[in-house]
């Protein structure tokens, strides 16, 4: 029996296959409840602090709507309007928040900021994106892959910036579930050795296969899922010029996707910039809107499982 009550949700790699599968199934249950227009305000009276150091369209709004449907109050906190922007220590923020709210959800520049909040706040802390990982995104994406391709044998390729938050979480999520995951990225932007080693340890247990290549065609050959993300993540704007040059051969174009399985799906966490052409993004292969929708259902699964004592 999976019990995540009181836990933090900082990285998928901290969770077992059974726990991730439970969260995917719970997300699907919440989706079905919405489809049936069924009341699900199981967390009535609870409060979530949504602390954001970076902009957001989907993560913030899916969390606010998830809180509303679950009967919670979402308290959005833009860092620039808090005393943290004037130097208040993050650990003091954590210690104060735990006296007010039931859960802290935070989008931060440095993953260590999340770890510090989690260290000093006794309540659950959820990663709403850091420089290292984006587990809420990939939890929703695993539901999308399950719906479209099943989670038994899908082969996934991530093409582009293989060393960013989304790529890391997709790597860990696929390794946990036991799926084949290929990262196609320029050598300089492949996941670092520690990340690969950690993912391979998980993969050895689950039967997942991990391939890292600097050849985009090798990455997408016969895959069921092609996933990409921006070449310049939030916080890396200074490197934009150099990155765009290096990533050019990894753009997801119609030429590239011809090498995938004929019924492949195209995924993108959004927002998009130059890393995919419109003909692929707007094609029948693209599942980006379903992917965005599933963020709402998986946000509910995470809030519910961390807060609800069954």
Q: Which stretch, 54-62, 82-90, 98-106, 154-162, contacts ligand CP (CB under 6 A)?
A: 54-62
Rounded to a whole number of angstroms, the minimum distance from the CB of residue 107 to ligand NVA is: 9
At 57, list the tokens: 């369209």
At 262, list the tokens: 């004929």
The catalytic position among 69, 268, 295, 297 is 295
Judged by beta carbon, residue 251 or residue 295, the one nearer ligand CP is 295
Q: Is 57 in the site for ligand CP (CB under 6 A)?
A: yes
Judge whether 295 counts as a catalytic residue.
yes
Distance CA 280, CA 215 (A): 19
Judge whether 134 counts as a catalytic residue.
yes
Distance CA 158, CA 2 (A): 30
Judge whether 36 counts as a catalytic residue.
no
The 73-78 sheet, strands edge to edge: 73-78, 47-52, 103-107, 125-127
Q: Is 137 in the site for ligand CP (CB under 6 A)?
A: yes
Identify residues 255-294 at the interface with ligand NVA (CB under 6 A). 269
Computed from CA positions of residues 208, 17, 177, 14, in that sequence, does the dihedral angle turn out positive or negative? negative
The catalytic position among 58, 60, 69, 107 is 107
Identify residues 132-191 at the interface with ligand NVA (CB under 6 A). 164-166
Distance CA 106, CA 280 (A): 32
Work out the burial of residue 80: count CB atoms within 10 Å of its CB; fewer than 13 is exposed, 13-18 middle, 19 or more buried. exposed
Judge whether 137 counts as a catalytic residue.
yes
Judged by beta carbon, residue 23 or residue 269, the one nearer ligand NVA is 269
Judged by beta carbon, residue 234 or residue 244, the one nearer ligand CP is 234
| Rg of the chain, C-alpha, whole Å | 19
Q: Is 296 in the site for ligand CP (CB under 6 A)?
A: no
Distance CA 109, CA 1 (A): 35
Rounded to a whole number of angstroms, the minimum distance from the CB of residue 166 to ligand NVA is: 5
Judge whether 141 counts as a catalytic residue.
no
Q: Name the E strands within the chain.
A: 47-52, 73-78, 103-107, 125-127, 155-159, 180-184, 210-213, 225-228, 265-268
Nearest to 163 by CA among 212, 204, 222: 212
Judge whether 190 counts as a catalytic residue.
no
Axis crossing angle, helix 135-149 with helix 288-307, rounded to the nearest 10: 120
Token pair 């174009």: residue = 253
Token pair 């997408």: residue = 220
Identify residues 61-80 at the interface with ligand CP (CB under 6 A). none
| Selected binder of ligand NVA within 229, 247, 299, 302 (CB under 6 A) | 229
At 167, list the tokens: 């790529």
Rounded to a whole number of angstroms, the minimum distance from the CB of residue 164 to ligand CP is: 12
Judged by beta carbon, residue 134 or residue 307, the one nearer ligand NVA is 134
Partner in contact with 57, chosen from ligand CP, ligand NVA, none, beta carbon below 5 to 8 Å by kind: ligand CP
| Selected binder of ligand CP within 9, 26, 59, 113 (CB under 6 A) | 59
Q: Is 129 in the site for ligand CP (CB under 6 A)?
A: yes
**Footprint of ligand NVA (CB under 6 A):** 129, 164-166, 229-230, 233-234, 269
- Residues at the contact surface with ligand CP, assessed by CB under 6 A: 56-59, 129, 137, 269-271
Could you list the active site residues? 107, 134, 137, 229, 269, 295
């Amino acid at each position: 029996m999976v019990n995540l009550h009181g836990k933090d949700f900082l990285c998928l790699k901290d969770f077992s296959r059974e726990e991730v599968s439970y969260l995917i199934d719970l997300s699907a249950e919440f989706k079905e409840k919405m489809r049936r227009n069924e009341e699900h305000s199981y967390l009535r009276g609870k409060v979530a602090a949504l602390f954001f150091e970076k902009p957001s369209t989907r993560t913030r709004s899916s969390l606010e709507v998830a809180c509303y449907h679950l009967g919670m109050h979402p308290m959005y906190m833009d860092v620039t309007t808090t005393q943290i922007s004037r130097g208040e220590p993050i650990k003091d923020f954590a210690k104060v928040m735990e006296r007010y709210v039931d859960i802290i959800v935070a989008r931060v520049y440095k993953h260590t900021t999340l770890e510090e909040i989690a260290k000093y706040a006794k309540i659950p802390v959820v990663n709403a994106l850091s420089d290292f990982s984006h587990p809420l995104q990939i939890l929703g994406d695993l539901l999308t892959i399950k719906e479209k391709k099943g989670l038994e044998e899908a082969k996934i390729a991530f093409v582009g910036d293989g060393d960013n938050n989304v790529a890391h979480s997709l790597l860990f999520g696929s390794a946990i579930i036991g799926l084949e995951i290929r990262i196609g990225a320029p050598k300089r932007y492949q996941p670092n050795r520690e990340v690969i080693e950690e993912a391979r340890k998980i993969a050895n247990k689950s039967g997942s296969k991990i391939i890292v290549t600097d050849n985009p065609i090798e990455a997408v050959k016969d895959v069921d899922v092609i996933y990409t993300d921006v070449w310049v993540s939030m916080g890396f704007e200074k490197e934009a010029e150099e990155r765009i040059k290096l990533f050019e051969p990894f753009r997801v174009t119609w030429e590239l996707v011809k090498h995938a399985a004929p019924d492949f799906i195209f995924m993108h966490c959004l927002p998009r910039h130059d890393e995919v052409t419109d003909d692929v993004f707007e094609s029948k292969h693209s599942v980006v809107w379903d992917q965005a929708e599933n963020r709402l259902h998986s946000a509910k699964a995470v809030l519910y499982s961390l807060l609800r004592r069954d």
